[in-house]
Amino acid sequence: MRVTITEYLGLDLSEERWKCNRCGADLGSAQEPYKKGCLIRDRDPHDVHFPIGPNKGYNFAFDPEWVRIVEFYCPGCGTMLENEYLPPGHPLTWDIEVDLQQLKNKHLREDLS
Amino acid sequence: MGRLFDEKARLFEGLVYDGNAFGKGPAWDPSLLKEGPAPLTELEREGIDRLSDVDLELMRHKLTSIVEEARDVYMSLSISEGIITGDMNCSIFTASGDPAVVATGIYFHSLLNYTQVKYINKYYRNDHTVGLKDGDIYFFNDELGGGVHTFDMFVAMPIFYEGELIAWAEVGGHQGDSGSVSPGGFSPKATSRYEEGLHICQMRIGENDEIRRDIFEFMCGSVRNPFVFGSDLKARVATCIRIRQRFLREVERRGVATTVGGLRKILTSTEQMARDRLRELNDGVYRAVLFNDDVGREPGLTRIPTTVFKEGDEMTVLVQSVSPENFAGSMHSTWHLVRASLGVYLFSYFFRGLPPNAGLLEPLRVLVEGPSIANSSAEVAHGEGTSISACVAQNLHVVGSKILFDSPYREAVSSPHSRNLLLYIFAGENRRGYQTANFTGTANAAGQGARYDLDGESALGFYWGPFTDSGEVEDIDSRLPQLVLGRVVEKNNHGYGKTRGGAPLVEISTAFGDRGCMMTSRGSADKLSHNPGVFGGYWGPPNPRFVIRNTNVMQLMAEGDDLKFANQYELLTERPLEGEYLISSSSGETQKFDEGDIFVWSLGGGGGYGDVLERDPEEVLLDLQSGLITQEVADKVYGLVLDPETRETDAEGTEKRRGEMRAERLRAGKTFDEFTKYWSKQKPKEEILKYYGHWPEPRLEEYDKPFWGQYR
Amino acid sequence: MSLRIGVDVGGTFTDVFMQRDDEVYRGKSDTTHYDLKVGFMNAARSAVERFGSTLEDALRSADSIVYSTTVGTNALIERKGSKLGLITTKGFEDTVYVGRSRNWADGLSPETKYDRGRAQRPVPIIPGERIVGVQERIDNLGRVVAPIRDDDILEKVQYLVDQGVRGFVVVTLNSFVNPVHEQRVRDVIRRQYPESYLGHMPVYLSSEISPQSGEYRRSMTVILDAYLREITEEHLLRLTEDLRDLGYHKPFFVAKNTGGVSSLSRSQALHLYGSSPSATVVGADHLGKQVERHNVLIADMGGTSFDVGLVVEGRDRVHEYDPIIDRYRVQIPFVAHWSIGAGGGSIAHVENGVLKVGPESAGSNPGPACYARGGESPTVTDADVVLGYIDPGYFLGGRIRLDEERSRRAIEEKVARPLGLSIEEAAWNIKKIVDGFMGQEMYRICALISGQDPREFAVFALGGAGAVHATGFSDFADVKQVATFPFGSVFGAFSTLSMDILQSYEKTAQIGLFAWDEREYLTDSIPHFNEEVRGLLEAGREDMLEEGFDLDTVRLQLEVHMSYGQQRHSIPIIAPKTFLETAEDVKQLCDMFNEAYGANFGKGAVYPEAGIEVVQLRLSATGPLPKFRLGSHSVDGDASGALKGRRQVYWGPDAGYVETPVYQREKMGAGAELAGPILCESEDTVTVVPRHWRFRTDEYQVGWIEKI
């Protein structure tokens, strides 16, 4: 059975795999980070936050030497499932590691009641 | 605490996690900071047994109404800006010093500034040189004793009944100047504790309900604003006396055991509610990380990660592999400050609907690595420690939203409130002849983070305080030395997303009069941000310090010319004023400014929620029309297409453009392996890593895994 | 013969109170929101029928009508006011939208005003596209820093006209100190759109309507006043015309939330908002003086609301420190009252194993379960029925039959069973919770506002449910004395006949009286002080003349609001003299302030070294009107004739159900005294008197419930 974990992330409990909530694309094993199943792009923050004023270091937009936007896309529909703002090269965040057994038990209890 | 934690976590040796990184000192005892509630006394047990559920509800309401009355009294007696805007609290503690009921503007005050009372109980009460009796007045403002920083000041008075200590009353909050190296209390450039002014861990300053004159004069003489300080100190005492009066009347009516038992039971019953709530949420391990860009004296990248282990009816919050502490500034938090800061998120969102009191944190274990910028030692400067503890709270907010989405509490899912701190503290003589040093109410107009089903509200209070108010400009005119020229909701200053973050209010003012004024600024998030989005929402952007020196604004105004700027965006892009445009780090030393020098500041916009390509085109158009975004953002970020003639949304065109943007994502996106191979070769410049610790994991000399925090 | 008519249009009912010589008559009807006049006429008719007259005859002979209306409340809720434009200082166009970053919470109940995560601002009265800024700036000392330009004004006005506005609100910064720029805007508009031509639009200047500091509050005060003006005027003019057609040509007064009345032509629309609860406070003060109670806690508990008011030291002018109308902060001298609960219709439910009562209400539709109108949730009224306080066959004099079985079922299902209690115990707990919360709130408000101990106060229990719960909540409020009145359920209408003609004038005036560095009383301030007072007096003279009084026949009161140094909160001091002349006069004011401050906050808080300032002046001019006085009756002390029966009443888990005597209120003479437990029923309420309390009627037929 499919449960919704977040806005874009679903989890197939029997398969134990992440799924995209928008198109159903498979995003890998739920024992692993869903980000492994995504297409990933890092961007110059100025592509999104347009600098204001002429100052290179301080311009109300992120300093590209300090921050890159790392975007995670569903390989099926291209929806941006999540993003991170990280210094260049900083390891990614494994943000959600659900306890599959507990989740299964919870839905089993709900089904029975 | 739990199987998940045991399986997945590995704490580093030689570092402290489960308490403060400093040991017992001349006036402080950190073991008191993590003690937890004292064991039940006989009197409390007797009272609890007598209380039915209904009685307890009524008692809770009654005791809460006593501190709420006190809060209104305190706020109306105070002069200090911080108090009036809600950065304060009024509490009643149990006799043993546990906070039972609190009326506050800032939730972390419910979880701090009670251990000093425990210290008094433990070390002074039975010491013949100090003792404790009815009418004693105690003062404290030190962070090591259990406070936040020296400019948050408190008064506590014991409550006796028939010779027995039965409770404590406490009142205090953000006072301001503490005689530190910069006026107004904040000292962003302080590099040690000894530049941060008066440090009083807990001291008796009065007896028989009166402050001793010699101590009063000593304290007033140590700060830059003696009359404000003195008046507010008396206000705190008057308010404590009011609390005592009401509490004792309740004791007369209900009996001492019942009242005291009720006070205690309030703590324990809330804990149970928190556990019940936690049990309903999915177990798992959740992570978020934030970075800071300034240490105080200079820019520098530092890291604050957070890992949360949610299991059954308990939760562990772990802050590990944090950048080390330094002597280059005051951005150092303490273990107890991190714990208390979590309250700001937990009370308003995670435990929304439950009574906001210390009992809610009992099912949490808070582990903060130290010594580090998050859990620092005694000697460093601590004034800006809230910058670091706020990062942990923001991380928890992001994590909390990820946990709560699949739960009955989805209404609490959102991006965090803006925390990109920038405060301008103005000092000088105001136009009515009073000396003044303060920030303005614009501090209370930050942007709210986007909600899962609603945009974030613009200009919605201070990060820490849900009850704050940004006041009126005419009030600023009569109290502060500068002249405000505009207060507007800012453009391109929020996180874009399916639902967008709220924008802040930006305040544009000029130094005014031939004496001008002094200004000190503090803050961070100038090159990066502390306003994350969730589920693909873009972040609220950084807001550095912005002043313009030597403008022609006075001349333009005198001649009746139009000042051709509506907001910060137009000031910067169109440059309608002559002068020197200076944008720099938020953390600034005190400087003198003259008439015609312009100040521009705001508290930042909240992060967005969800993929921008899912935002309703009509909403994007509204954002554009109401001046929240520029055309460029509507085009390039949201993919909005408008009918060239009617200027209304072209739904089909927009869908097509968005389809193209999604295709571009798929084309440009790399697979995980491809990406990590490329990404692991990137690294920030050496000079910004001066205060970071080891790259990328501050505590490990080497680390090459694709995900951070994997220490097993 | 004299006949005065007081009318109170409420959300559910329209009440009429007629004073005909020494007799009083009541009338009640449903409020007809589609046309408020209809309900008024119906209620008036039901009153005149009691003395055997017709509506037309009564109107022809009536001396005055005082009218308290909800037309403003309805207009705000339904957003039916005028289409306005706002002209303000450039750079501050977002002031009303942002609302001090706090308007998302203003006016919300205590349960929701802290829920920041779900904050939502109210829909603006004037949206952004009808707000323009003109380049100008005046500082707090009144100096012009940037002059205003006619061409700029014209351009902005033209834009607003193109947006279709029907009136202009003008608010420039610091206009209360120097109004020249606002006046200039008006001049330009009038030149462009002369008053004598068609399409003329009203211009509202904030410096005239509310010359006080605080541009957000001032803006909202003027905006709301302007917004409600047309619809209020229309309603009142039509009503007075209809009354004239029916033969009424005498004065028509409107009741105001400032605690007085005035003629139509001397009244501001915003002052009519929420006039009823404010009038109630004045009525309580008036009666309080007669029964020698100068400290009164007013508790008005109806089916859908619980309102609290205060009379302190015989002064009903307890003004709300930070008045809020609907969801907006304003600056009018509003007689304070607090809405603290949802009354008899509050719904009891169990949440996380804890019994809660309210804030949700069953209202009057569907109403309590016992109304049998489809309501399934147990309410406070249902608990009262189960406990035996309310006789299901005699509710509202028998007008509505209640179904006790439904009450029992609702309580059993939603409260008793989840908590493992009997139905009676559950009902008892419901009553205890609502009495406790309400009483403790009353305590807090009383203590905070008066600075005194509530033990010094008497409670006046009003509204349909007031007397039922009075001993309950009064006990929690630490009050031992409760007064109930035969006309307690139409107290709002009665109160309109206890008010005088009143006009109030407020002005921010920042005047130093005592300097901290020189330790000196500032006689230099005297001319400025006097000039401000003179200005207020002039405005008063004009208004009172219109009402038929000159300044010698009215009662004038000058309140000087003072504070230490730059303190934000001020205390009102009633000035012993209107004008200051000498340093002694200045010192006298300062001494009075120090004393009042010390009395409220403790001597240790007094701190004149910080300097003493005047921050605001408030002048009230009162033109006395004849008022209803309670008639004295001969005391016979015999209540036996009033005994109507006995029934089973639950007096708590220890006592259980007890056979309790029931008396008919109207049959009790003056001077009767009965010890509880008893019930005393009347057409519109039940007075519940438990053990340890007694019920006593005095010479005025006021029913006192007193703790023994």
Model ipTM? 0.97
For residue C458, give the CATH number of its domain.
3.30.420
Please name the residues in contact with C61: beta carbons below 8 A apart, sequence gap of 6 or more. C1, C3
State the smallest CA–CA distance between residue A100 and chain B in angstroms.
8
Q: Which of C670, A81, C156, C30 has its CA nearest to residue B609?
A: A81
Q: Which of B570, B627, B487, B626 has its CA nearest to residue C95?
A: B487
Amino acid C341: pLDDT:
87
Amino acid C321: pLDDT:
60
Amino acid B436: pLDDT:
82
Q: Which of C194, C209, C230 is the last residue of a domain?
A: C230
- Are C87 and C201 within one domain? yes
State both tokens at C49.
Answer: 């029928």
Range of the domain at C180: 80-230
Select from B302, B690, B707, B711 the residue whose CB has the most chain A CBs within 10 Å, as the one to mutate to test that interface.
B707
B301 to A93: CB separation less than 8 angstroms, yes or no: no
- Are C505 and C476 within one domain? no
Q: Is the residue at C553 inside a domain?
A: yes
CB C377 within 8 A of CB C349: yes
- Helices within B551-706 (DSSP H only): 553-558, 568-574, 617-625, 631-632, 651-668, 672-679
- Are C193 and C305 within one domain? no
Q: What are phi and psi of B209, to 5 degrees?
A: 65, 10
Amino acid C320: pLDDT:
64
For residue C175, give the CATH number of its domain.
3.40.50
The mean pLDDT value for B399-411 works out to 97
Q: Which of C130, C129, C148, C135 has its CA nearest to residue C86?
A: C130
Residues in chain C closer than 8 A to B557 (CB atoms): 137, 145-146
Whether C342 shows a pLDDT value over 90: the answer reads: no
**3-state DSSP of B178-205:** CCCCCCCCCCCCCCCHHHCCCCCCCEEE
The mean pLDDT value for C299-316 works out to 87
The mean pLDDT value for B340-347 works out to 94
Amino acid B469: pLDDT:
85
For residue C604, give the CATH number of its domain.
3.30.1490
Residue C649 backbone class (left: φ over 0; alpha: ψ -120 to 50; beta: rest): beta
Q: What angle do CA C613, C619, C621 make, to 5 degrees?
A: 165
Of residues B62, B73, B474, nearest to C440 (C-beta): B62
The owner of tokens 């010479």 is C699
- Are C372 and C488 within one domain? yes
Q: Compute the residue count for chain B.
A: 712
Amino acid C318: pLDDT:
67
Q: How far apart are CA B637 and CA B323, in angstroms?
A: 34
A40 to B288: CB separation less than 8 angstroms, yes or no: no
Q: Any CB–CB contact under 8 A between B73 and chain C?
A: yes
H or E element that contains B590 = strand B588-593
Number of other residues whose CB lies within 10 A of the CB of residue C552: 6
B529 to A62: CB separation less than 8 angstroms, yes or no: yes
Which pairing describes strands C458-462 and C481-484: parallel, antiparallel, or unpaired? parallel
- Are C289 and C317 within one domain? yes
Amino acid C396: pLDDT:
79
DSSP classification of residue B249: H
State the smallest CA–CA distance between residue B676 and chain A in angstroms.
9
- Are C571 and C424 within one domain? no
Amino acid C467: pLDDT:
95
Number of other residues whose CB lies within 10 A of the CB of residue B52: 11
Residue B415 backbone class (left: φ over 0; alpha: ψ -120 to 50; beta: rest): beta
Q: Which of C471, C498, C525 is the last residue of a domain?
A: C498
Q: How confident is the model at residue B346 (pLDDT cuts 50, 70, 90)?
A: very high
Alpha-carbon dihedral sign for residues C196, C200, C201, C207: negative
CB B390 within 8 A of CB B463: yes
User: For residue range C225-263, what is the model confidence (pLDDT) as tens digits?
Assistant: 999 999 999 999 999 999 999 999 998 999 999 999 999
The mean pLDDT value for C684-692 works out to 94
C441 to B483: CB separation less than 8 angstroms, yes or no: no
- Are C309 and C457 within one domain? yes
Q: What angle do CA C614, C619, C624 make, to 5 degrees?
A: 155
Q: Any CB–CB contact under 8 A between B428 and chain C?
A: no
Q: What are phi and psi of A4, to 5 degrees?
A: -95, 125
Q: Which of residues 350-409 of B touch A (CB under 8 A)?
A: 399, 402, 405-406
- Are C193 and C325 within one domain? no
User: For residue range B410-468, what is the model confidence (pLDDT) as tens digits?
Assistant: 999 999 999 999 999 898 899 988 888 788 889 899 999 999 999 999 999 888 877 77
State the smallest CA–CA distance between residue C30 and chain B in angstroms.
36
DSSP classification of residue B281: S
State both tokens at C90.
Answer: 């450039």
Q: Which of B236, B293, B303 has its CA nearest to residue B544?
A: B293
Residue of C nearest to B206 (CA): C604
**Least confidently predicted of B334-348, C130-144, C534-548:** C534-548
- Helices within B255-351 (DSSP H only): 256-279, 335-345
Burial class (CB in 10 A: 0-12, 13-18, 19+), C49: middle
Around C409, how many Cα atoms within 13 Å sit in the side-chain half-sphere?
Answer: 10
- Are C510 and C492 within one domain? no
Q: Which of residues 569-608 of B touch A (CB under 8 A)?
A: 569, 572-573, 581, 583-585
- Helices within B560-691 (DSSP H only): 568-574, 617-625, 631-632, 651-668, 672-679
Q: Which of residues 438-467 of C touch B (CB under 8 A)?
A: 440-441, 443-444, 447-448, 453
Q: Which of C553, C555, C569 has its CA nearest to residue C605?
A: C569
B472 to C217: CB separation less than 8 angstroms, yes or no: yes
Q: What are phi and psi of B501, to 5 degrees?
A: -75, 165
Chains that touch C (3 or more CB pairs under 8 A): B
Partnered with residue C379 across adjacent β-strands are: C347
Structural domains in chain C (count): 3
State the smallest CA–CA distance between residue B270 and chain A in angstroms.
25
Of residues B57, B451, B477, nearest to C139 (C-beta): B477
Question: Does C30 or B447 have the greater pLDDT score?
Answer: B447
H or E element that contains B477 = helix B473-479
Q: Any CB–CB contact under 8 A between C652 and chain B?
A: no
Q: Residue B165, Cα to own-chain centre: how many angstroms? A: 34
Of residues B61, B458, B460, nearest to C440 (C-beta): B61
Chains that touch A (3 or more CB pairs under 8 A): B
Which pairing describes strands C168-171 and C85-89: parallel, antiparallel, or unpaired? parallel
Q: How far apart are CA B192 and CA B181, in angstroms?
A: 11
Amino acid C351: pLDDT:
87
Q: How confident is the model at residue C110 (pLDDT cuts 50, 70, 90)?
A: confident
The mean pLDDT value for B352-357 works out to 87
Whether B236 shows a pLDDT value over 70: the answer reads: yes
B474 to C441: CB separation less than 8 angstroms, yes or no: no
Whether C551 shows a pLDDT value over 90: the answer reads: no
Of residues A40, A58, A93, nearest to B544 (C-beta): A58
Q: Residue B698, Cα to own-chain centre: how many angstroms? A: 25
Number of other residues whose CB lies within 10 A of the CB of residue C677: 18
Of residues A57, A79, A95, nearest to B287 (C-beta): A95
Q: How confident is the model at residue B1 (pLDDT cuts 50, 70, 90)?
A: low
Q: How far apart are CA C197 and CA C213, in angstroms?
A: 35
Give the max Cα distance, chain A: 63
Residue of C nearest to B505 (CA): C98
Cis peptide leading into residue B30 (ω within 30°): no
Q: Is the residue at C48 inside a domain?
A: no
Rg over alpha carbons for chain A, rounded to the nearest Å, is: 18
Amino acid C316: pLDDT:
58
State the smallest CA–CA distance between residue B130 and chain C in angstroms.
23
Amino acid B180: pLDDT:
86
Question: Does C457 or C519 have the greater pLDDT score?
Answer: C457
Residue of C nearest to B474 (CA): C214
Whether C397 shows a pLDDT value over 80: the answer reads: no
B451 to C117: CB separation less than 8 angstroms, yes or no: yes
Residue of B nearest to C419 (CA): B53
Q: What angle do CA B186, B188, B193 make, to 5 degrees?
A: 80
CB B204 within 8 A of CB B125: no
CB C199 within 8 A of CB C167: no
State both tokens at B669.
Answer: 């996106």
Q: Is the residue at C647 inside a domain?
A: no
CB B91 within 8 A of CB B126: no
Which pairing describes strands A96-98 and B284-294: parallel, antiparallel, or unpaired? antiparallel
pLDDT, chain C, mean: 92
Count of A-B CB contacts under 8 Å: 212
Q: Do chains C and B touch (3 or more CB pairs under 8 A)?
A: yes
Whether B43 shows a pLDDT value over 90: the answer reads: yes
Q: Is the residue at C110 inside a domain?
A: yes
Q: Which of C341, C343, C322, C346 has its CA nearest to residue C333?
A: C322
Residue type, B485: L
Residue of C nearest to B453 (CA): C118
Q: Is the residue at C84 inside a domain?
A: yes
Residues in chain B closer than 8 A to A75 (CB atoms): 666, 669
State both tokens at B686.
Answer: 């050496």
Amino acid A25: pLDDT:
97
- Are C537 and C568 within one domain? yes
Amino acid B205: pLDDT:
98
H or E element that contains B156 = strand B152-161
Q: How far apart are CA B142 and CA B139, in angstroms?
A: 10
Whether B213 shows a pLDDT value over 80: the answer reads: yes
C605 to B235: CB separation less than 8 angstroms, yes or no: yes
Q: Which of C498, C518, C551 is the last residue of a domain?
A: C498
- Are C117 and C137 within one domain? yes
Partnered with residue C18 across adjacent β-strands are: C5, C25
Residue of A nearest to B525 (CA): A62
Of residues B54, B72, B253, nearest to C433 (C-beta): B54
Q: Is the residue at C614 inside a domain?
A: yes
Residue of B nearest to A34 (CA): B672
Q: How far apart are CA C289 and CA C481, in angstroms?
A: 16
The mean pLDDT value for B689-706 works out to 97
Residue of A nearest to B582 (CA): A55
Q: How far apart are CA A31 and CA A17, in angstroms?
A: 8
Q: How far apart are CA C259 and CA C283, in angstroms?
A: 9
Q: How confident is the model at residue C610 (pLDDT cuts 50, 70, 90)?
A: confident
Q: Which of A73, A72, A67 has its CA nearest to residue A44?
A: A67
B541 to A62: CB separation less than 8 angstroms, yes or no: yes
C145 to B227: CB separation less than 8 angstroms, yes or no: no
Whether B659 shows a pLDDT value over 70: the answer reads: yes
Q: State the virtual CA torsion across C182, C184, C188, C190 in degrees, nearest 10.
A: 70
Residues in chain C closer than 8 A to B78 (CB atoms): 567-568
- Are C517 and C413 within one domain? no
